[in-house]
Chain A
Amino acid sequence: MNEPILMTDNLRKAFGDNEAVKGVSFSVLRGEIFSLLGPNGAGKTTTISMLSCLLEPTSGTAVIGGHSITNDNLRVRELIGIVPQEIALYDELTARQNLVFWGQMYNLSGKALKARIDEVLEQVNLTDRANDRVGTFSGGMKRRINIAAGLLHKPQLLFMDEPTVGIDPQSRRRILDMVKELRDQGMTVLYTTHYMEEAEELSDRVGIIDHGELIAVGTQAELTKTIGQQETLRLHLGEGFTGEEQVHLFEDLPGVLAVTALNGEVALSVTEAEEALPGAISRANGAGVPVRTIDIEEPNLEAVFLHLTGRALRD
């Protein structure tokens, strides 16, 4: 578990003047689920694209299973599996035909391929739909076949790039359970997401990425520890104030460390929620803004992100 399967060193990617990834360095240990958590446009997919040999890094290095992604990329591609963010399947082929094709691209053939296809179909719970065209599947079913295609050759390191985007809660639950099963079977997973809850549920370790920079890496406990005993006070306000006005309303309250506002909800990072709460309610009432609900959250990754960037993950 402690041996790294992936190590990056100052990995950087620029598209002209736009620097998408600004020198990230991290490692992923064998058998763990490592999540890259960050908002859309943070550089997660670009990082995965470099690590899966799709994009040449502008500078920096990365080694997977002892092989450089730039100098030995064919060998690297044998070791990794990828579940891309978009559904990368052929709608015209059946689920089984898709898996036969992708298996052959990973140099599998014959009975071994057939047996492995049966296994992964079982794993994603789609054995009964194996001979139906993928074009007839729901979004969630397509996502599961998309995952199955990345598992066929039993990769040592599986990249999953936001695999739950745009699907129903039931399919999402299945996918999250499947990721944990894979980890339990010994597979290493590098998982990217902008959902804090997914990162919290799945990850052994988390890397927080924003604007192309890896701003923190560690276990959830280690990360929340960095912000001390901070809690988050969430106030759901009535209409009447803009987000900016809401931030100004609360930012100078005693005990408030940071304020963000989104969709009528104000999140206050505070040292002690119970002490800050009366002042916050009083300030809202004074301004004539009704407070509809109040939530107090223990320190979590959202708070860590807020603490590190001054913004909410969904901003």
Chain B
Amino acid sequence: MLQKIFAMIWKDTIVRFSNKSELLFFLILPVVFTALMGGILTPEPDVDARVPLLLVNEDSSALAASLQDALAQSDTVQVQEMALAEAETAFTDEEAAALLLIPAGFGEAVMAGETAVLDLRQQPNNSDGDAAGEAVRTAVSAISQPVAAARSAVEEAESHRAFASVAARDVFFASSLEMAQDLLQDTPERIVLTQPESSNVDVDDYDPAAQSSAGQLVTWVFIPLLGVSAFLAYERTQGTLRRLLTTPTRKATFLLGSISSNYVQALVQMAILVAFGVFVMKVNWGQSLPALAVLLLAFGLAAVAFGVMLGTFVKTTNQASNLSIMLGMVMALLGGCWWPAELFPPAMQTAVKILPTAWVMQGMTDLIRRGQGLAGILPEAGVLLGFAVVFFVLGVWRFRFE
């Protein structure tokens, strides 16, 4: 039986690769797509992607300095401080989406409880300008909180007993402001994020190269594995299946041989794409080789079993090929192979759980981005093996040898 299975693997491999264009789908396109999706579309790590904000600070107060600090720490804007004339020229030339002028007397007005005016100019119909405006409002809000708190403290004290002098009132205001700033800085955490013990907190949360490497692997391996249906249809239409069943070869041996050949080819393809991910894309394919092996083996079984089931519905190789490509692409897209599933609406994230591609991508995310080991991916591998059992049973039960 083993000799016959090896013979079928050998024969199917020659048949598949007799057409040189098959190498395009087996190797070239997967590698090119992985590189494209993971490399070219990812921003250069050294480039600052923040929105430029021209800042003119004409106020020497501590409050103006605090506002400038708050803006400098923003993830949204990149502050470029300059003189007013220079800033206005740059803004007119549309070198920046927004210009913020902190006028002289800004800090003093705020301390006095008067209305302080900031001059914020944004390029019209420009989303970067809107983003810069929002960042400025956030920074102003951050520095306004202690001022508002200090002012409330002064008003509350005056409601009980008037200050002896304006100087005493100013001293009380200053000490209240300092206390409010200290308290806001030491605000206790009210939400604590916990992660499983196996989680490796040092692993980056999102890596486009890793997403591409995993997603493209699943896509380009999944579609040919569905193509086992085309192989079965080919044997039927070619008449070789009828001949094969007149030899002393059991039907089960034939099915096992056909499945094994596609499965072995898929394992080789997966190994190549993982190696490409590790050595070229510098993807951290997890720290557990057994976990990776279990996940990929389970995924391969689920996919090839799905192909066997598909083979019971098709009559010709053309039907099988078209259906494999169509279903494979749709399932890869919905399974999160081309972009992270986290971007899907919650209802869709739940709905796609019926797809094996969603489970293998979840397992790969656990491995690559969350640094989990064998225990972490066992649920996903278990579900994939469950898919494999269901699809195999349906496929073998409904398989037509004629």
Instruction: Spell out A's residues near B (CB within 8 Å).
Output: 52-54, 74-75, 77-78, 80, 82, 84, 86-90, 92-93, 97, 100-102, 104-107, 109, 133, 149
With CB as the reference atom, state the residue of chain A lying closest to B19: A92
Q: Which residues of chain B have C-beta atoms less than 8 A from A82's C-beta?
A: 243, 246
- Contacting pair B248 A78 (CB below 8 A): yes
B239 touches A87 (CB 8 A): yes
Instruction: Pick out which of these stretches binds chain A: B7-15, B145-153, B388-396.
Output: B7-15
Given contact pairs A87-B239, A88-B240, A105-B4, A93 touches B246 in the complex (Cβ within 8 A):
no
Provide the B239-258 mask, 1 if CB < 8 A to any CB of A, else 0. 11011111111100000000
Of A84, A87, A89, A93, which one neighbours B14 at CB under 8 angstroms? A93
Given A74-B250, A101-B7, A105-B7, also A89-B240 (CB < 8 A): yes
**Nearest-CB distance from B213 to chain A (Å)?**
32
Q: Is the CB of A90 within 8 A of B238?
A: yes
* Alpha-carbon distance A42/B3, docked complex (angstroms): 39
A88 CA to B234 CA in the complex, in Å? 11
The answer to whether B11 and A93 have CB atoms under 8 Å apart is yes
Q: Known: A90-B240, A101-B11. Contact between A52 and B4, CB under 8 A?
A: no
In the complex the two chains form, is A104's CB within 8 Å of B15's CB? no
> CB distance A102 to B238 under 8 Å?
no
Docked-complex contact B239 and A52, CB < 8 angstroms: no
Chain A residues near B195 (CB, 8 Å)?
none
Given A90-B11, A93-B11, A97-B14, verify A106-B247 contact (CB < 8 Å).
yes
Closest residue of A by beta carbon distance from B243: A88
* Residues of B that sit less than 8 Å from A by CB: 3-4, 7, 10-11, 14-15, 18-19, 238-240, 242-250
Within 8 Å by CB of A53, from B4, B14, B19, B245, lies B245
Q: A84-B242, A93-B15 are in contact. List 20 more A-B contacts (CB 8 A).
A: A53-B246, A74-B250, A75-B248, A77-B248, A80-B246, A82-B246, A84-B239, A84-B243, A88-B238, A88-B239, A90-B14, A90-B238, A92-B14, A92-B15, A97-B11, A101-B7, A105-B244, A105-B249, A106-B247, A133-B18
Closest B residue to A104 by CB, please name it. Answer: B7
A86 contacts which chain B residues (CB < 8 A)?
239
The complex places the Cα of A100 from the Cα of B7 at a distance, in Å, of 9
A207 to chain B minimum Cβ distance, whole angstroms, is 21
How far, in whole Å, are A163 and B243 apart by their CA atoms in the complex?
14
Please measure, in the bound complex, the distance between the C-alpha atom of A109 and the C-alpha atom of B11, giving whole angstroms: 15
A92–B4 contact, CB under 8 A?
A: no
Task: Tell me the minimal C-beta distance from A119 to chain B in angstroms.
Answer: 19
Inter-chain contacts of B14 with A (CB < 8 A): 90, 92-93, 97
Q: Which residue of chain B has the shortest Cβ distance to A85 in the bound complex?
A: B239
4 tightest Cβ-Cβ pairs between the two chains A and B: A92-B18, A88-B243, A88-B239, A104-B7
12 A-B pairs, CB-CB below 8 angstroms? A52-B246, A53-B246, A54-B246, A74-B250, A87-B239, A89-B240, A92-B14, A92-B15, A92-B18, A101-B11, A104-B4, A105-B7
Q: Which of B15, B18, B242 contacts A88 (CB 8 A)?
A: B242
With A74-B250, A105-B4 already in contact, the answer to whether A54 and B245 are too (CB < 8 A) is yes
Which residue of A has the minimal Cβ distance to B247? Answer: A105
List residues of chain A with CB within 8 A of the CB of B19.
92
Complex-state Cα separation, A296 to B176, whole angstroms:
132
Which residue on chain A has the smallest CB distance to residue B8?
Answer: A101
> What chain B residues lie within 8 Å of A97 (beta carbons)?
11, 14
Q: How far is the CA of A88 from the CA of B247 in the complex (A)?
A: 13
Q: Are B248 and A74 in contact (CB under 8 A)?
A: yes
Are B247 and A54 within 8 A (Cβ)?
no
A89: chain B residues within 8 A (beta carbon): 238, 240
Among A80, A88, A106: residue with most chain B CB under 10 A = A88
Residues in A neighbouring B242, C-beta threshold 8 A: 54, 84, 88
Among B15, B243, B250, max chain A CB count under 10 A is at B243
> Across the interface, which residues of B come within 8 angstroms of A105, CB to CB?
4, 7, 244, 247-249
Which residue of chain B has the shortest Cβ distance to A79 in the bound complex? B248
Q: For A80, what are the chain B residues with a Cβ–Cβ distance below 8 Å?
A: 246
The residue of chain B having its C-beta at the shortest distance from the C-beta of A86 within the complex is B239
Give complex CA distance A101, B4 in Å.
Answer: 9
Cα A90 to Cα B4 in complex, Å, equals 16
**Chain B: minimal CB distance from A14 (Å):** 15
In the bound assembly, the distance between CA atoms of A75 and B248 in angstroms comes to: 7
Residue ID in chain A nearest B12 by CB atoms: A90
What separation, in Å, do the CA atoms of A92 and B240 have in the docked complex? Answer: 13
Minimum CB distance partner of A109 in chain B? B3
- Among B19, B247, B249, B250, the one with the most A-chain Cβ atoms within 10 Å of its Cβ is B247
Residues of B within 8 A of A92 (CB): 14-15, 18-19
**B98 CB, min distance to chain A CBs, angstroms:** 65
Complex Cα distance, B247 from A101, in Å, reads 12
**Distance, CA A101 to CA B243, complexed state (A):** 12
Alpha-carbon separation in the docked complex, A54 to B249 (Å): 12
Centre residue among A86, A97, A104, A149 by max chain B CB count within 10 A? A104
Give the docked Cα–Cα distance between A52 and B249 (Å): 13
Query: Which residue on chain A has the smallest CB distance to residue B401?
Result: A54
A93 surroundings in chain B (CB, below 8 A): 11, 14-15, 18
Whole-angstrom CA separation of A53 from B246 in the bound complex: 6
Residues of B with C-beta under 8 A to A106: 247-248
| A-side contacts of B250, CB under 8 Å | 74
**CA of A11 to CA of B401, assembled, Å:** 22
Question: Do B3 and A104 have beta carbons less than 8 Å apart?
Answer: yes
* Residue numbers in A under 8 Å from B249 (CB-CB): 77, 105
Q: Are B240 and A77 in contact (CB under 8 A)?
A: no
Query: Contact between A77 and B3 (Cβ–Cβ < 8 Å)?
Result: no
**Cα A62 to Cα B245 with chains together (Å):** 18
CB contacts (< 8 Å) of A109 on chain B: these are 3
Bound Cα distance A87, B239 (Å): 7
